[in-house]
């Protein structure tokens, strides 16, 4: 039998860190990743035959569970007609019609192949449309690995960016300003100083890449007003929150209308898909309708569109999001009760089918609070859960995801595992 360990040994010789995307390597939590052989419903099975109840869901796309028959069959039907055409295909039109119907702020849309592509394209459009250069992002928010986004804040409330990664030119990082999430006063000050040069502000409307941190009441609305006042575009990066926190995404959940929105994950049903869209006058500036260039050999791929459309069909079932939110609540309330019973400082956040777990007391509303939580405790808890057959995101700074395939029994089994894992984590 091939073991996880043997595969990881081979992989590390051949791929940086043994993986094709960093968090998968378990660097943050320590230990070695498992290699998945198959996935179905709420579960993954590794190459050694061990089953895990999965709260990562391929990092978000699997909102109806793994290997859903309707998504799989749509893909199988599409595959029979060829894998890629390089010409327009009917499914792209249906996809654009579906997105524009479900998301009222989007008049026109362009399909791409990843969330990273979507955000890179959206800021190019923001810069091209406003004829301005500066982009504002938030410390702890992730928008893919484009140069403009690999920038974090220095000390102080506002500052010119410093690159987080070697290889991002300083000249590029200088064009990205960073702010503390959920601090509206800092945003007002930044716009007072630089507003006339700001092309756009990009935000995860529920932050999901520094654990899970919802916006404070009125925060997104205030950012909307600030952008309008200064002629900057408001870009919601809904790669994670889109079709996750509500059918209409975070913009529907919080009732705030962005100028541009980016998508990924769920919209592709598990295939490599992203999208960006927004107001017609803006999207009309994208090539070939307008002068701002963006393209893709495989964009709008017929097989990927079939998967995405099947997924978007399933999530429109009546009551889908109520049930998802209720299941998520069952999980987070259950975990909180266990931690409280054990006297372990712990808190949770959740919006729709998205949640965060923090080993700290009190509500977490900021990046500073999230990074101050006990990550060593999280890492022990993560491994305790893994041993007991529950797979949480392998980092204290990632959101978790519940799918409609997670049954009440799955949640009950997860809580049973958590009872043991919390005790073990506290023991050290």
Active site residues: 142, 237, 265
- Choose the stretch contacting ligand PMP; rule: CB under 6 A; options: 12-20, 140-148, 187-195, 283-291: 140-148
121 binds ligand PMP (CB under 6 A): no
Encoded one letter per residue, x for contact with ligand PMP by CB under 6 A and - for no contact, window 20-59 reads ---------------------------------------x
Give the DSSP H or E segment for 158: none
239 binds ligand PMP (CB under 6 A): yes
Tell me how far apart the alpha carbons of residues 255 and 249 are, in angstroms, rounded to a whole number: 10
Give the one residue of 143, 327, 350, 380 binding ligand PMP; rule: CB under 6 A: 143
Torsion angles phi and psi, residue 347, rounded to 5:
-150, 165
Tell me how far apart the alpha carbons of residues 68 and 265 are, in angstroms, rounded to a whole number: 15
204 binds ligand PMP (CB under 6 A): yes
Dihedral sign computed on CA atoms, order 282, 97, 295, 290: negative
Tell me how far apart the alpha carbons of residues 93 and 305 are, in angstroms, rounded to a whole number: 10
Tell me how far apart the alpha carbons of residues 101 and 96 are, in angstroms, rounded to a whole number: 8
Q: Which residue blocks in 284-407 are alpha helix, DSSP H?
A: 302-314, 320-342, 367-372, 375-387
Tell me how far apart the alpha carbons of residues 340 and 426 are, in angstroms, rounded to a whole number: 13
Of the pair 236, 346, the CB lying nearest ligand PMP is at 236
Give the one residue of 139, 183, 237, 259 binding ligand PMP; rule: CB under 6 A: 237
144 binds ligand PMP (CB under 6 A): yes
Encoded one letter per residue, x for contact with ligand PMP by CB under 6 A and - for no contact, window 250-279 reads --------------x---------x-----
Give the one residue of 240, 247, 335, 351 binding ligand PMP; rule: CB under 6 A: 240
115 binds ligand PMP (CB under 6 A): yes
Residues 6+ apart with CB under 8 A from 294: 110, 112, 121, 124, 125, 286, 287
Shortest reach from residue 287's CB to ligand PMP, in Å:
21
Q: Which residue blocks in 103-211 are alpha helix, DSSP H?
A: 115-130, 170-173, 184-194
Number of residues that bind ligand PMP (CB under 6 A): 16
- The residues that bridge with 271 in the sheet, in sequence order, are 269
- Choose the stretch contacting ligand PMP; rule: CB under 6 A; options: 113-121, 170-178, 210-218, 361-369: 113-121
Tell me how far apart the alpha carbons of residues 155 and 272 are, in angstroms, rounded to a whole number: 36
304 binds ligand PMP (CB under 6 A): no
Of the pair 211, 422, the CB lying nearest ligand PMP is at 211
Output the residue with the shortest Cβ distance to ligand PMP.
115
The binding site for ligand PMP (CB under 6 A) comprises 59, 114-116, 119, 142-144, 204, 208-209, 237, 239-240, 264, 274
């Amino acid at each position: 039998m091939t073991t996880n360990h043997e595969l990881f040994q081979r992989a590390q010789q051949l791929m940086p860190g043994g993986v094709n995307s960093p968090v998968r390597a378990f660097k943050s939590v320590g230990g070695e990743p498992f290699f998945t052989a198959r996935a179905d419903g709420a579960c993954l099975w590794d190459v050694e035959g061990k089953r895990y109840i999965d709260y990562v869901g391929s990092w978000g796309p699997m909102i109806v569970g793994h290997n859903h028959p309707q998504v799989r069959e749509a893909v199988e039907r599409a595959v029979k007609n060829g894998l890629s055409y390089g010409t327009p295909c009917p499914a792209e039109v249906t996809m654009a019609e579906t997105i524009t119907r479900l998301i009222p702020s989007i008049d026109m849309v362009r399909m791409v192949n990843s969330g990273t592509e979507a955000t890179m394209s959206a800021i190019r459009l923001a810069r091209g449309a406003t004829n301005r250069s500066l982009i504002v992002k938030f410390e702890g928010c992730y928008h893919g690995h484009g140069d403009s986004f690999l920038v974090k804040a220095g000390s102080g409330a506002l500052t010119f960016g410093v690159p987080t990664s070697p290889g991002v030119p300083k000249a590029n990082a200088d064009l990205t300003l960073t702010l503390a999430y959920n601090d509206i006063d800092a945003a007002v000050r930044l716009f007072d100083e630089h507003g006339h040069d700001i092309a756009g502000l990009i935000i995860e409307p529920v932050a999901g890449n520094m654990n899970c941190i919802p916006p404070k009441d009125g925060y997104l609305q205030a950012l909307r007003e600030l952008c309008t006042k200064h002629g900057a575009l408001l870009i919601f990066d809904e790669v994670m929150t889109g079709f996750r926190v509500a059918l209409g995404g975070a913009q529907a959940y919080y009732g705030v209308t962005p100028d541009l929105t980016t998508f990924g994950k769920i919209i592709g049903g598990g295939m490599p898909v992203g999208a960006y869209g927004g107001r017609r006058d803006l999207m009309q500036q994208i090539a070939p309708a307008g002068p701002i260039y963006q393209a893709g050999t495989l964009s709008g791929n017929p097989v990927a569109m079939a998967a995405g459309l099947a997924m978007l069909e399933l999530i429109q079932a009546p009551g889908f999001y109520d049930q998802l939110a209720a299941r998520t609540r069952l999980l987070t309330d259950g975990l909180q009760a266990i931690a409280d019973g054990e006297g372990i400082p712990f808190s949770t956040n959740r919006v729709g089918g998205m949640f965060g777990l923090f080993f700290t007391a009190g509500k977490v509303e900021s990046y500073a609070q999230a990074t101050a939580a006990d990550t060593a405790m999280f890492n022990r808890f993560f491994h305790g859960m893994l041993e007991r057959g529950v797979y949480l995101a392998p980092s204290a700074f990632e959101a978790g995801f519940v799918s409609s395939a997670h049954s009440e029994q799955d949640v009950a089994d997860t809580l049973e595992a958590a009872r043991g894992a919390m005790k073990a984590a506290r023991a050290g």
